[in-house]
Structure 1
């Protein structure tokens, strides 16, 4: 993932300082993603980054802080990735299909960050809630707009958003947490059939 857009942290505001911060955050992504929060260590993060252990504290006060930075970066990176993916969609249902396909690709490329977000529910419940709340709030606004255009059925857009997020994240969990066979075209088509059935406008009753 591109870390040129800085996750939260401090440290020297110089080009060299920014390079060091990126090294630390990439190393933390791998260390925390592979070992989990409780088994990962700051010393291992700095070893992976190739910097002195004391350097870590110029940028992050604790393992908890760099963990939160990674959750936030996952949130921002994923939302940007999905926005680009659905930009050319002509309808909301087309956007849902493109978005689901894009989400699965994104998680495949950033499996460590996916695991970190999932673990956040135990490590930092407030950050975990923030991650999904911001996703759901933005998603609900787009769904509400689609309802007003008559593209999808009416209803509580926030409930719709939560249901759709649940489908995507559990499909990702099957692939990268449960280590089941990768999601294939048939699996995506099945999920989309459920989504289309749930969102398509109801036919007028005769």
Structure 2
């Protein structure tokens, strides 16, 4: 086994290397998601990826490093996916609705995502926080632009971002992962109405 204390550059230098690293990350997602971080071994990852165990150490020092890189990779992939889905949105409300729908569909297609994030929280909370803070900073820029364009009311967008992320997180659990008994259009339309009109009736809006 190589000396894991030595610094190294694990960035693949060839297309084949990039493909191998990607297979290892996908295999790690399934292993951590299905077995849990502590029960899954590096041998489980390499077996699922179809590579020799020694190949793992060409890309990652240890199991914790592959978890960190996996969570970062998941965050980048999800943000890129959502950005593409809302690229031609008419306004911020339309972007929120499209983004939520795309997120719920993404969760349904990536059933291990939440489990991996939960595992990361207890292995090293900094991995977990980094995922959500990176997401929050990206989201904040979008809300700030929408406010500057007059599409949303002035307010503390940093707090708004975490409120919106929290809502999407639990909607993803309930309607994307646990149960899919409600059509996504109904979920999205309900949230769109909440964002557009608020929760209170008209007689209470001015209190």
TM over 0.5: yes
The whole-number CA distance in structure 1 between the counterparts of 2:100 and 2:91 is 14
Gaps of at least 5 residues in structure 2 are: 1-8, 200-205
RMSD: 2.3
The whole-number CA distance in structure 2 between the counterparts of 1:198 and 1:148 is 21
Q: Is the 8 A contact 1:86 1:95 kept in 2?
A: yes
Aligned twin of 1:180: 179
Q: Is the counterpart of residue 20 in structure 1 residue 20 in structure 2?
A: yes
**Normalising by the residue count of structure 1, what TM-score does the alignment of the two structures yield?**
0.84
The whole-number CA distance in structure 2 between the counterparts of 1:165 and 1:15 is 35
Using the TM superposition, give the Cα deviation of residue 193 of structure 1 relative to its aligned residue in structure 2, in angstroms: 2.1
Q: Is the 8 A contact 1:175 1:183 kept in 2?
A: yes
Using the TM superposition, give the Cα deviation of residue 117 of structure 1 relative to its aligned residue in structure 2, in angstroms: 2.0
Q: How many residues align?
A: 193
The whole-number CA distance in structure 2 between the counterparts of 1:183 and 1:32 is 29
Q: Is the 8 A contact 1:11 1:58 kept in 2?
A: no
Q: Structure 1, residues 39-59: CA drift from partner, whole Å, max 9, x if none? A: 111111111112221221111
Aligned twin of 1:150: 150
Aligned twin of 2:136: 136
The whole-number CA distance in structure 2 between the counterparts of 1:96 and 1:120 is 27
The whole-number CA distance in structure 2 between the counterparts of 1:159 and 1:32 is 32
Aligned twin of 2:60: 60
Using the TM superposition, give the Cα deviation of residue 113 of structure 1 relative to its aligned residue in structure 2, in angstroms: 2.6
The 1:100–1:11 alpha-carbon spacing in structure 2 relative to 1, beyond 3 Å, is closer
**Normalising by the residue count of structure 2, what TM-score does the alignment of the two structures yield?**
0.84
Using the TM superposition, give the Cα deviation of residue 131 of structure 1 relative to its aligned residue in structure 2, in angstroms: 1.0
Using the TM superposition, give the Cα deviation of residue 11 of structure 1 relative to its aligned residue in structure 2, in angstroms: 6.5
Aligned twin of 2:81: 81
Q: Structure 1, residues 132-184: CA drift from partner, whole Å, max 9, x if none? A: 1111112112112211222111110011111111111111122455x234552
Runs of 4+ in structure 1 over 6 Å off: none
The 1:23–1:148 alpha-carbon spacing in structure 2 relative to 1, beyond 3 Å, is closer
The whole-number CA distance in structure 1 between the counterparts of 2:83 and 2:77 is 10
Aligned twin of 2:160: 160
